[in-house]
Amino acid sequence: MVITSEEEFQIFIEDFSYSNYYNLKKDKNVIKTSLVPFIISNSEFFKYVNEYWTSKQRQSSSIHEISYRACFKANLPRFFIELLTRPKDTVYDPFSGRGTTGLEAGLLGRRVILNDVNPLSMVLYYPRFFILEVEEIMNRLDLLTYDYILTADIDLSMFFHKRTESEIVALKHFLNKRQSNNEEDIIDKWIRMVATNRLTGHSKGFFSVYTLPPNQAVTPNRQKEINRKRRQHPDYRDIKSRIIKKAKSLTRNVTEEESTNLLKAGKTGLFLTEKAQNTTEIKNESVQLTVTSPPFLDVVQYSTDNWLRCWFNDIDDNEVSKNITVTKSLDEWKIVMKGVFKELYRITKHGGWVAFEVGEVKKGTLKLEEYVVPLGLEAGFNCVGILINMQKFTKTANIWGIKSNIKGTNTNRVVIFRKK
């Protein structure tokens, strides 16, 4: 089904049954939607609280398995893409991160526009629109030779064995040379993307000694502390075998139809590295659906978390930090988001939708979603309501305050707008 009106959306959400929607005949646990009213500018709106998507759904495509800090799961954009768009409609994400929205839209046969002011984002998502045979990656890696005298221009000894570090530097030089000679192709981009993802992590599949989860890089000093506490030293990790293994894993359950859909989306897509409030390349009234999650105040330090990935890709992480909206001030955040909503209104089709996910801020004490509603209204959108997805209900769950991460409760908060 495709929903085409605000009233239809509200009725669907109010009557939603997770078990029925996903045809889970064995699941008898039917949860009724809770309606939580709130007032903004003397108008009443509702928060719709239920379990709309969880890990009980069919498994997401393996192509999504590139980690990035603060990214949402593919089930979130899929829910809205299937509900609010048709094949060949354009789906947009102005804060694309690892590209979850765009890749899910591509898998489902939609057109794609992705934007992120951090150029690292495009490194991580763009190659995955073009599914390769693993043999192509293996053959390209065969061209890479090592000089074990090579070292990085910064001290990385706390992360990597000396030989591993030499291999990483050799790969970095190899890819940069092909790029500077205008020889870079999608195979090189795949290798760059996978290597970037494998730099640091907590298993033998990564290039580094054990460190924190792979969606961020700790500081060198912090890694030294981890090494001391764990009494560990970086051991040698062959990078070629790990790149090949991860490439195989990423494509392991992508069907032929999905591969074709991704290819079409990649060839017709628009991929930008602009500030979200200034995307002049996007045509007026060209987007049917936006699904996005912006930076939340100072919750995530994107440039700090990605400093090692930036180093590998010759990206200035200081410049990135200047452009990403990370601030402790709610007023400053609202000023930037006001510009974003003005731009979203320009590019959204009449009858088009925006699903604006704001997650949890300050342990739920700051209801950021309620600050988002006036921004969308001022831009010209209608607010259809706030959809709150709770992945697990408990006796301690505070439905009215929608507390999360307390004794098993976890939520997504998505403000839904429509342009008439």
Output the CA–CA distances (angstroms, integers) from residue 342 to 118, 290, 389, in the order listed.
21, 13, 26
Residue 289 has a pLDDT of 98
- Which amino acid makes up residue 121? S
- Given a contact cutoff of 8 angstroms between Cβ atoms, the answer to whether 282 and 165 are in contact is no
Which segments of 201-293 does DSSP mark as H helices, in order?
Answer: 220-230, 239-250, 256-268
The CA distances from residue 399 to 5, 45, 56, 388, 389, in Å, are: 27, 16, 22, 10, 11
The residues near 403 (Cβ < 8 Å, ≥ 6 apart) are 363, 364, 397, 409
Adjacency order of strands within the sheet including 287-292 = 34-40, 43-50, 382-390, 411-418, 348-357, 287-292, 90-93, 111-115, 270-272
User: What pLDDT, on a 0 to 100 scale, did the predictor assign at position 58?
Assistant: 57
Q: What is the pLDDT of residue 400?
A: 37
Cα–Cα distance measured from residue 51 to residue 85, given in angstroms and rounded to the nearest whole number: 21
Rounded to 5 degrees, φ, ψ at 386 are -115, 120
Note the pLDDT of residue 407. Answer: 34
Query: In this structure, are residues 404 and 364 in contact, taking their beta carbons and an 8 Å threshold?
Result: yes
Nearest alpha-carbon partner for 416 in 379, 388, 392:
388
| Whether 224 contacts 314, CB under 8 Å | no
What is the structure's pLDDT at 391? 64
Which token pair is 96?
């694309």
In the chain, what are the domains? 6-119+253-302+320-418 (3.40.50.150), 134-250 (no CATH)
Given this model, what pLDDT does residue 290 score? Answer: 98
Task: Determine the pLDDT at residue 91.
Answer: 98
Q: What are the φ and ψ backbone dihedral angles of 411, each rounded to 5 degrees?
A: -130, 155
Region of 88 (left: φ > 0; alpha: ψ -120 to 50; beta: rest) is left
Contact partners, residue 182, CB within 8 Å, separation at least 6: none
DSSP letter at 206 equals S
- Please name the residue that has the structure tokens 């970095």: 172
pLDDT of residue 299: 58
Q: What pLDDT, on a 0 to 100 scale, did the predictor assign at position 291?
A: 98
> How many other C-beta atoms are found inside a 10 Å radius of the C-beta of residue 14?
15
Task: Report mean pLDDT in 10-residue bins for the chain, 420 residues.
Answer: 95 90 72 92 94 73 88 92 98 96 98 96 97 98 96 98 98 98 98 97 96 83 96 98 98 97 98 97 98 80 79 87 71 94 98 92 79 97 94 43 42 94
Q: What is the per-residue pLDDT for 193? A: 98
Give the CA dihedral 229, 231, 235, 241, nearest 10 degrees: -50
